[in-house]
Amino acid sequence: MSPTPVYQRIALGDITINNIGQLRKLNSVLFPIEYKASFYEEVLHVGEFAKLVYYNDVCVGSVCCRKEVAQDDQTNLYIMTLGVLKPYRRLGLGDQLLEHILKEASDKENKINKVYLHVQTNNDAAVAFYKKHGFEITRTDKDYYKEVEPRDAYVLEKLIV
């Protein structure tokens, strides 16, 4: 019998009041900043724009977004966090999370014009990851991060057509 292909071991799950603690724990390991209670409250109400990713039934990553209405009345989607625990990287989990978000953003009912995010300027792996998915650096925000170095962040965007 041949081993189960990797893609069959991956599952996306909703973020609920019952597993929000898993998200808190993941974020404390993955990101150098502490997210406030309002972040987690917001995540519970964005539906398909926040997901946990499981590998062999173990929660190993997540993506959390929020919808924003721009000054021109266009709706944008901001990726607040997307991360996978280090031992589980390079297995396509981040790809699945991002592809799910982009598919949902492309749904005409959601009326999303662009997806964007901030990435620390020294995070070459993240920049390469997003560029692989069609994102482009559109600007650099100086002193975006207050408590981590470097403080500067690239803004990466992908237009939804």
- Catalytic positions, written as ranges: 78, 118
Nearest to 68 by CA among 112, 28, 109, 107: 112
- Asked if 68 and 78 count as a contact pair (C-beta separation under 8 A), the reply is yes
How many other CB atoms are there within 10 angstroms of residue 125's CB atom? 9
**What is the layout of strands, in order, in the sheet containing 75-84?**
10-14, 50-55, 58-69, 75-84, 112-120, 153-159, 136-141
Is residue 100 within 8 A of residue 48, CB to CB? The reply is yes
Q: How far is CA 19 from CA 15, 25, 47, in A?
A: 6, 10, 14
